[in-house]
C-alpha cells in the first residue's frame, strides 16, 4: 500500500531537516508501506526551496513550487491533486503536529476508516491564541451543526476514494478539514498533543482570523439568517417603542397622563448611530458572501504551479508535468 504525505510549506527552512528526518524514521518503522513526500512550497522567501532542491531524499519526494503565495489551503489542494497514494496524509510543516502520530492514523485506516481526523488533546500556543482558536472551533461547530470535531485541523488521513472526491471540488473558498468531514464515509479520530513551534513565526492572528472567517462563510449561511433575525428584532423594538409613545400622546390628549417630554437630540442621535452601525455590519456580511460568489464566477485557478521536481532513490527530474499545466 502506498501513502502520500502532503506538506504545505511557507518559510519553514528551519524545520525542514527535522521534518524530513522524522518522516523517514516513522516510515522505517512502518516498513510495510511504500510512501512519498509531496512538499508544496507556497512562495517561501527564506531559502526553503534551495534547501529542498539541495537535500538528498532517501524516499521518493515530489517537490511542487507554486508561482507565488496562494495560501495554505490552496497548497494542500495542489499537493492532493498530485498525490498517488492509496491514502493521503495532510501534515503541516511546522512540526506542531508530530509525524510520530502517523502510525495511529494508519492503524485506524487499516481498521476500515476512510477518514481519520486528528484531535488535539493539548495545545502549547500562547493563551491568547488558544482562546481565539477555541472560540473559532466553538462558533464553527455551532454554525455548521458540529460538522468538524473540535480542536482538529489539517492533520489527518483520507482514503483514496475520499481523495478523489476532494480533488473534484472546484470551490475557491477552501477549508479542507471541513470538506473532509463533510464528505462523510467511514470516519474515526485519534488524539495527540500539539507541540510548540520550534522555529518561524507561523500565521499571524490577522491571517488566522481571515482563515476562520473564510471557513465559516464557506460552510454556513447562518450569518445571513442572523442578519434577518436582527432586523426583525430591531423592527419589533421600534414598533413597540412607537406604540408606547402613541399611547402616551392619546392619554395626554384626554388629560389622563401628565408625563413631560424630554427635549433634546440624545435619543435621536443614539438611535441614528445605532441603526447606522447595524446597517453597515449587515452590508459587510452580505458583501462577504457576494465577494465569494464573485471569486467563484471569475473561475480563476486556485493556484499556479511554477515547476515540479521529483527526487529520491538517486533520481532527480525537473519539469512542469501535464497535471501541473492543467492546474
Domain residue extents for the chain: 2-220+301-326, 222-298
Binning pLDDT at 50, 70 and 90, where does residue 184 land?
confident
- Range of lowest pLDDT (8-12, 29-33, 50-54, 200-204): 200-204
Return the higher-pLDDT residue of 128 and 23: 23
Cell matching residue 81: 491533486
User: How far apart are the C-alpha atoms of 78 and 39, rounded to whole Å?
Assistant: 10
* Grid cell for residue 111: 481498521
The 10s digit of each residue's pLDDT in 43-54 is 888 888 888 888
SS3 content of the chain, % helix, strand, coil (to 5): 50, 20, 30
Q: Is the pLDDT of residue 95 over 70?
A: yes
CATH 3.90.550.10 fits 2-220+301-326, yes or no: yes
Distance CA 327, CA 300 (A): 10
For residues 114-138, average pLDDT: 72
Distance between CA 214 and CA 304 in Å, rounded?
A: 21
Tell me if 132 sits within 8 A of 48, measured CB to CB.
no
How many Cβ atoms from other residues are within 10 Å of residue 72's Cβ? 21
pLDDT digits (tens, 9 = 90+) for 269-313: 567 766 776 777 777 777 777 777 777 777 778 788 888 888 775
pTM: 0.67
Amino acid at each position: 500500500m502506498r501513502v502520500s504525505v502532503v506538506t504545505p510549506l511557507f518559510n519553514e527552512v528551519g524545520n525542514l531537516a527535522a521534518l524530513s528526518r522524522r518522516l523517514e524514521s516513522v516510515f522505517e518503522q512502518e516498513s510495510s508501506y511504500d510512501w512519498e513526500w509531496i512538499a508544496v512550497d507556497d512562495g517561501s522567501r527564506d531559502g526553503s526551496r534551495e534547501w529542498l532542491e539541495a537535500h538528498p531524499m532517501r524516499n521518493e519526494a515530489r517537490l511542487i513550487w507554486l508561482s507565488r503565495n496562494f495560501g495554505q489551503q490552496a497548497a494542500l489542494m495542489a499537493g492532493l491533486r498530485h498525490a498517488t497514494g492509496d491514502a493521503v496524509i495532510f501534515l503541516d510543516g511546522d512540526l506542531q503536529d508530530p509525524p510520530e502520530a502517523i502510525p495511529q492514523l494508519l492503524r485506524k485506516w487499516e481498521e476500515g476508516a476512510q477518514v481519520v481526523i486528528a484531535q488535539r488533546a493539548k495545545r502549547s500556543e500562547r493563551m491568547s491564541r488558544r482562546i481565539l482558536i477555541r472560540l473559532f472551533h466553538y462558533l464553527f461547530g455551532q454554525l455548521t451543526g458540529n460538522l468538524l470535531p473540535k480542536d482538529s485541523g489539517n492533520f489527518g488521513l483520507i482514503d483514496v476514494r475520499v481523495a478523489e472526491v476532494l480533488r473534484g471540488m472546484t470551490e475557491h473558498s477552501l477549508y479542507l478539514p471541513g470538506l473532509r468531514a463533510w464528505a462523510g464515509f467511514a470516519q474515526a479520530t485519534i488524539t495527540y498533543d500539539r507541540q510548540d513551534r520550534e522555529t518561524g513565526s507561523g500565521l499571524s492572528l490577522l491571517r488566522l482570523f481571515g482563515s476562520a472567517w473564510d471557513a465559516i462563510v464557506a460552510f454556513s449561511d447562518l450569518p445571513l439568517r442572523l442578519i434577518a433575525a436582527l432586523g426583525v428584532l430591531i423592527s419589533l423594538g421600534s414598533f413597540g417603542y412607537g406604540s408606547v409613545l402613541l399611547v402616551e400622546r392619546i392619554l395626554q390628549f384626554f388629560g389622563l397622563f401628565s408625563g413631560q417630554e424630554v427635549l433634546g437630540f440624545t435619543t435621536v442621535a443614539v438611535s441614528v448611530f445605532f441603526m447606522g452601525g447595524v446597517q453597515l455590519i449587515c452590508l459587510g456580511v452580505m458583501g462577504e458572501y457576494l465577494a465569494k460568489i464573485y471569486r467563484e464566477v471569475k473561475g480563476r485557478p486556485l493556484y499556479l504551479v511554477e515547476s515540479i521536481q521529483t527526487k529520491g532513490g538517486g533520481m532527480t527530474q525537473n519539469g512542469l508535468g501535464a497535471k501541473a499545466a492543467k492546474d
